[in-house]
Structure 1
Amino acid sequence: MIPGRLLNQFIAVAEEMHFGRAAARLHMAQPPLSQAIKNLEEMVGVQLFARSKHAVALTPAGRAFLDEARELIAQGQRAIDIARRASEGLTGRIAIGFMGSVSYELLPRILREFRTRFPAIHVDLREQTSVEQIESLHAGKLDLGLVRVPLVNAADLNMRTIEVERFIAVLPRDHRLAASRSLRLEDLAEAPFMIFPADKSPSLHAKFLLACDDAGFSPRIAHEAWQMASMVSLVAAGMGVALLPAQVRNSPHPGVVYKDLENDSEHLELKIAAAWRGDNLSAGVHSLLSVLEEH
């Protein structure tokens, strides 16, 4: 392999057609440059320059070698540029976990910004519950997850809250309170509820129960479902009511109405966080975190 320094010296002489001018261009003395070109010719095994007392010219072999030398230098620079872009998060790939509930509004918003800023990074999306994402992060199957907090078994992971939303009530369109101008959670105390199962969505499950406790009642559980679309369909079928994250509003359904709750309970607030391993220093993770920080 011919060193890049030697190739640059050859190119300088070939372009200047003068050892003195080439040496000045390279900020070196002429004798070492002449010796370097002789060494290059020995390495290649052919004469690259025809020399006389008054002129320097490329031989046919030298002209052919010049094209290849320029291409080798360009390839080396491209490799450097690619490495730098990867280091800056401009290339690579990232495996992102997400809950179905963030696919209504938050995830599309984040991905649009990410793809605009880092189009060369390949994104691998995997829909999983928050609990499953924590397991996948520990196993190295995900680079970053979008999860609802709090969560157990996640103390060793880095967490950054990126969104705070609220529970809203989802009522059948023919519910007696569907047209009410205001609604409090206790107004639904007698209604059957659809809830998230504790093993699939522990944070939403616990938040719901605590919010009902703050409102002064123990809810009557009719059904469990862990996908918001399924819960909305069950509500539309008249199977009960539900408290769902406000992002569900981005998926209107003709059989339901979405109602804000006037309660001030902190348990109606829902936090979404980015989770990643502290030892994951990939460019993809750093790039996505920069987008989330601005978000």
Structure 2
Amino acid sequence: MAFTLEQLRGFVAVADELHFGRAAARLAMTQPPLSRQIQKLERAVGAQLLERDNRRVALTAAGEVFLVEARRLLTLADGAPELARRVSSGSSGLLRIGFTAASTYGLLGQLLNELARELPDVDVDLSELVTREQVAGLRAGELDLGLARPTVDQQAFGSRLLHREALCVAAPLGSPLLALGRPVEADDLAGEAVVMHSPTRARYFYDLVVGAVPTASENAVHTVGQVLTMLWLVAAGRGIAFVPESAARLPIEGVGLVRLRTPVPQPVELHLLWSRDTTNPAVWRALEVLEALAEL
């Protein structure tokens, strides 16, 4: 047998007042129906909650324990409509955000601070994923937003440019490339061993680098998917690497950065991605909040 919220409210009122008459007045009802509510509640719970006689009303041990849970259930029930309204409006709920490792070098923290300030009741769950994994997560409904490289599927995904930056060459300290006094050009890199972006896990950077330095893939000694791994391999003397300018915020001992001359001065783009079919209202509120961060 189930109990009702009215029965819980009646029990809490009696537990507070320890008097059926005062509790009934508080609830704007008469005493007999209140007594019947308590009896039905005790049958539903399967335990005596109150000791009562003509002189006094007292909570039993079971009643003391049940009172705590009754108050909690009433608080949840009373707050549920407002919570539903907040979730429906996007001002409360959960945002699952994927991000590339490179986005953490500056923009991710700024984005999270903006969300925390404007949408304090929206919880954020973070996942570090390469762009391909983020796209798959958005498509499967496992992510709500992505901080990733641009995607070509404009029908399935909305996209907003957040940041542009230069592409740089990371080289071991002492490399002649760092002493040129100008941006590095493709011809300067002939014969250089390259720690290359993976054509599967980091396709965006792979295509960007090959477009600027056609020989890069031919000279690859390693292929990896993360910028930090590249920098460590450069520090170990395994070769040069092509990294976004923001990688300068990761000072790896023994590694220097110099700009690569590219047809577009700042070819590296970071986008905010979302599924156009999302049913999460918090996504649309977040996009409004983050409008100021976008460069377009």
TM-score over 0.5 (shorter chain): yes
Alignment partners' CA distance in 2, 1:232 and 1:79: 50
Quote the residue 1:221 is aligned against: 220
Alignment partners' CA distance in 1, 2:98 and 2:238: 31
Quote the residue 1:6 is aligned against: none
Partners of 1:159 and 1:273 within 8 A in 2: yes
Alignment partners' CA distance in 2, 1:161 and 1:291: 15
1:63 partnered with 2:62 = no
Quote the residue 1:235 is aligned against: 234
Q: What's the RMSD between the two structures over aligned residues?
A: 3.1
Alignment partners' CA distance in 2, 1:146 and 1:270: 13
Q: After the TM superposition, which segments of 4 or more aligned residues of structure 1 sit over 6 Å from their partners?
A: 74-77
Secondary structure of the 2:213 match is helix
Alignment partners' CA distance in 2, 1:137 and 1:218: 30
Larger radius of gyration: 1
2:289 to 276, 279, 291: 291
Alpha-carbon offset, residue 125 of structure 1: 0.9
Alignment partners' CA distance in 1, 2:174 and 2:230: 17
Quote the residue 2:64 is aligned against: none
After superposition, the C-alpha distances for 1:252-279 in whole angstroms (9 at most, x for unaligned) are 1111011123x24138601222221112
Alpha-carbon offset, residue 126 of structure 1: 1.1
Alignment partners' CA distance in 2, 1:243 and 1:2: 64
Quote the residue 1:273 is aligned against: 271
Alignment partners' CA distance in 2, 1:106 and 1:277: 21
Alpha-carbon offset, residue 183 of structure 1: 2.5
- Structure 2: segments with no counterpart, 5+ residues: 7-20, 30-70
After superposition, the C-alpha distances for 1:21-54 in whole angstroms (9 at most, x for unaligned) are xxxxxxxxxxxxxxxxxxxxxxxxxxxxxxxxxx
What are the residue-to-residue correspondences of 1:204-219 with 2, within 5 Å?
204-213=205-214
1:86 partnered with 2:84 = no
Quote the residue 1:17 is aligned against: none
Quote the residue 2:53 is aligned against: none
Partners of 1:189 and 1:219 within 8 A in 2: no
Alignment partners' CA distance in 2, 1:217 and 1:224: 11
Alpha-carbon offset, residue 80 of structure 1: 4.6
After superposition, the C-alpha distances for 1:210-257 in whole angstroms (9 at most, x for unaligned) are 0114xx987521211111111001111111111101221111111101
What are the residue-to-residue correspondences of 1:162-177 with 2, within 5 Å?
162-177=162-177
Secondary structure of the 1:266 match is coil
Q: TM-score, normalised by structure 2?
A: 0.69
Alignment partners' CA distance in 2, 1:278 and 1:219: 39
Quote the residue 1:190 is aligned against: 191
Quote the residue 2:39 is aligned against: none
Alignment partners' CA distance in 2, 1:199 and 1:102: 19
1:104 partnered with 2:105 = yes
Q: TM-score, normalised by structure 1?
A: 0.69
Partners of 2:172 and 2:255 within 8 A in 1: yes
- Structure 1: segments with no counterpart, 5+ residues: 4-58
Alpha-carbon offset, residue 181 of structure 1: 2.1
Partners of 2:145 and 2:272 within 8 A in 1: yes
Alignment partners' CA distance in 2, 1:169 and 1:98: 23
CA separation of 1:223/1:268 partners in 2, compared to 1, >3 Å: closer, same or farther?
A: farther
Quote the residue 1:115 is aligned against: 116
Quote the residue 1:248 is aligned against: 247
CA separation of 1:75/1:92 partners in 2, compared to 1, >3 Å: closer, same or farther?
A: closer
**Amino acid of the residue matched to residue 64 of structure 1?**
R
Partners of 2:168 and 2:258 within 8 A in 1: yes
**Amino acid of the residue matched to residue 255 of structure 2?**
V
Alignment partners' CA distance in 1, 2:194 and 2:220: 5
Alpha-carbon offset, residue 146 of structure 1: 1.6
Partners of 2:196 and 2:216 within 8 A in 1: no
How many residue pairs were aligned? 234
- Percent identical: 28
**Amino acid of the residue matched to residue 149 of structure 1?**
P
Partners of 2:184 and 2:258 within 8 A in 1: no
What are the residue-to-residue correspondences of 1:137-148 with 2, within 5 Å?
137-148=138-149
State which drifts further: 103-112 or 85-94.
Answer: 85-94
CA separation of 1:278/1:237 partners in 2, compared to 1, >3 Å: closer, same or farther?
A: same
Partners of 2:111 and 2:290 within 8 A in 1: yes
Alpha-carbon offset, residue 61 of structure 1: 5.5
